[in-house]
Amino acid sequence: MTTNINHRTSALGDLSPVVFFLTFTTMKNWLITIALTLSFLAGAQTTEDNIKSIYTTALSEQYSYELLRTLCKDIGARPAGSEAAENAVQWARMIMDSLGADQVILQEVDVPHWVRGNAEMAFIEDPKTPLAVCALGGSIGTQEFAGGSVSAQVIEVTDFEALKSLGEEGVKGKIVFFNRPMDPSLINTGFAYGGAVNQRWAGAIEASKLGAVAVIVRSMTLLPDNHPHTGSMSYEGATKKIPAAAVSVLGAKALHKALRESGEIKVSLTLSCKSLERTKSFNVIGQWNGTEKTDEYLLVGGHLDSWELGEGAQDDGAGSMQSLAIPYYLKKNNIRLKRNLRVVLFMNEEFGMDGANTYAERAIQLNEKHFVAIESDGGSGAPRGFSIDGNDSIVQVVRGLRDLFSPYGLHEFPTGYSGADIGKLNKKETLLIGYRADNQRYFDYHHAATDVFESIHPRELEMGAASMAAMIYVLDKKDIHLTQKVGVE
């Protein structure tokens, strides 16, 4: 200090000791004021500032989009039990390690292994008119039938009541064609899907009870194209296992027209699918430890498996890669969470929820407290909001955060369904939230060969990743509990 003062005295020249003292004190106070001001500004990042930074990083770097590109193009479709699914597991573990996860867990899951085979064909026999079809997931093939194909008269119904009204006499020995479209008048296409999907899931069960030899189901989509859409089906409660296939919307219209004009037609159906022995796979769990409440977990996730007709980009490569990008976006913005962040990539959502069941069961065994869980499994569309699975009190609390998210297009905060995978967690202890993207075109791609990386818009995908990251950050910061109300800063 003596050296510095002498230096300053020399620099000030012939100033009197009093003048020097006042001048030096003023300069010192000014420097202190600047230092304190800079320190304050550095720590004055508001919640809104941090949210904006998260979106800026996501839109600028497009990290989740590049992850998805690799998942789709280098690994491809990931049906449970397949080699590709195992490759995806190992790749995701590597990415979590590279993102500095404090812990990466491969949680063993027992999964089915169904394969499509090479032969999928159907046609109206007279005149011969091809129909675009694909086997429904879990269906048996037609190998046991003469010539390896089913050939039978077709009857058309729109629902199970209409089927039952025909009785065994009207159904036995025939192929049942379920032709109930998704309701195009519903704004929420998820509701339209829910109103039609039971014919896909249980059509073979109900038709088998009346002696049908096979079922053909109109694809679950609102797009009038020639791409059939697969999806899981069941034989639980069936009298006998019978082949089940989806037909494209244009194929369904052609079949309906032929029945209306001819009254009676026959269809030939060939499927080479079959079920192999169940096998071992994994949930991939990455954990980034929190700074304070390390006995609580913030979960973000989607499912890593997919159907194999496309690349599984929308369902659910988008949601799983949005989740995987969240620790990257938080770290890039120097945001540390109080609680442990878990990214969970669930295995086999499509074909029995084995990954979700395994994770929830293990969480109960370990007495793990999940503070909040957010799932993305609705495609890569532009942000619309979050669905909240909880009581009226907590719904109002989360809706109270709307002003933080409305600048980014998130206006809808309905109650209800949060997600299939996180829905297995204890709802009394965990706030369950579903990220909701615009779904008007989601079912154009869902379970079809068109579900490829090229269907993804990078900005919309990144807006979703940023929305989930921001919501996790806000909920963790504000300590929102199921019975606690808080205001917005």
Looking at residue 457, its amino acid is H
Alpha carbon of 24 to those of 17, 163, 224, 387: distances in Å?
10, 96, 81, 61
> Where among 211, 246, 272 does a domain terminate?
272
pLDDT of residue 159 exceeding 90, the answer is yes
Alpha carbon of 422 to those of 166, 342, 359, 427: distances in Å?
41, 12, 9, 9
Cβ(91)–Cβ(70) under 8 Å? Answer: yes
Task: Name the one residue in this structure whose structure tokens are 């996730």.
Answer: 301
Q: Is residue 39 part of a domain?
A: no
Cβ(448)–Cβ(227) under 8 Å? Answer: yes
- CATH no. for residue 343? 3.40.630.10
Tell me the per-residue pLDDT of 449-469, one tens digit each, with 9 for 90 and over: 999 999 999 999 999 999 999
pLDDT of residue 424 exceeding 90, the answer is yes
pLDDT of residue 168 exceeding 50, the answer is yes
Q: Is residue 136 part of a domain?
A: yes
Range of weakest confidence among 375-389, 420-434, 459-473: 420-434
299 and 371 inside one domain: yes
> Which residues lie closer than 8 Å to 412 by C-beta, 6 or more apart?
384, 385, 386, 436
pLDDT of residue 409 exceeding 90, the answer is yes
The rounded mean pLDDT for the chain is 91
Q: Which of 273, 280, 430 is nearest to 348 (CA)?
A: 280
Looking at residue 464, its amino acid is G
CA distance 404 to 488: 8
91 and 225 inside one domain: no
Tell me the per-residue pLDDT of 5-43, one tens digit each, with 9 for 90 and over: 333 333 334 444 444 333 444 554 554 444 444 444 445
CA distance 27 to 9: 13
> Where among 272, 295, 316 does a domain terminate?
272
- CATH no. for residue 132? 3.50.30.30
Question: How many domains, in total, are found in the chain?
Answer: 2
344 and 394 inside one domain: yes
Give the pLDDT band of residue 482 (cuts 50, 70, 90): low
> Which residues lie closer than 8 Å to 4 by C-beta, 6 or more apart?
none
Q: Is residue 419 part of a domain?
A: yes
CA distance 324 to 65: 11
432 and 311 inside one domain: yes
Tell me the per-residue pLDDT of 256-266, one tens digit each, with 9 for 90 and over: 999 999 989 99
Structure token pair of residue 246:
């989806």
Instruction: Identify the pLDDT of residue 393.
Output: 82
Q: What would you report as the CA-atom Rg of the chain, rounded to the nearest whole angstrom?
A: 29
Give the pLDDT band of residue 479 (cuts 50, 70, 90): confident
Task: Name the one residue in this structure whose structure tokens are 């869980």.
Answer: 373
| pTM, full prediction | 0.89
Q: Which of 447, 104, 106 is nearest to 288 (CA)?
A: 104
Share of the chain above pLDDT 70, in %: 89
Instruction: Identify the pLDDT of residue 304.
Output: 98
Q: Is residue 247 part of a domain?
A: yes
> Which residues lie closer than 8 Å to 56 by C-beta, 6 or more apart?
none
Alpha carbon of 158 to those of 47, 165, 179, 241, 456: distances in Å?
52, 12, 5, 21, 33
Q: Is residue 444 part of a domain?
A: yes
Instruction: Identify the pLDDT of residue 481.
Output: 61
pLDDT of residue 485 exceeding 60, the answer is no
> Where among 272, 291, 309 does a domain terminate?
272
461 and 317 inside one domain: yes
Tell me the per-residue pLDDT of 45-60, one tens digit each, with 9 for 90 and over: 899 999 999 999 999 9
pLDDT of residue 177 exceeding 90, the answer is yes
307 and 223 inside one domain: no
CA distance 82 to 112: 10
448 and 305 inside one domain: yes
Range of the domain at 354: 47-112+277-478
385 and 451 inside one domain: yes
231 and 260 inside one domain: yes
Tell me the per-residue pLDDT of 342-377, one tens digit each, with 9 for 90 and over: 999 999 999 999 999 999 999 999 999 999 999 999
Q: Which of 448, 118, 115, 129 is nearest to 268 (CA)?
A: 129
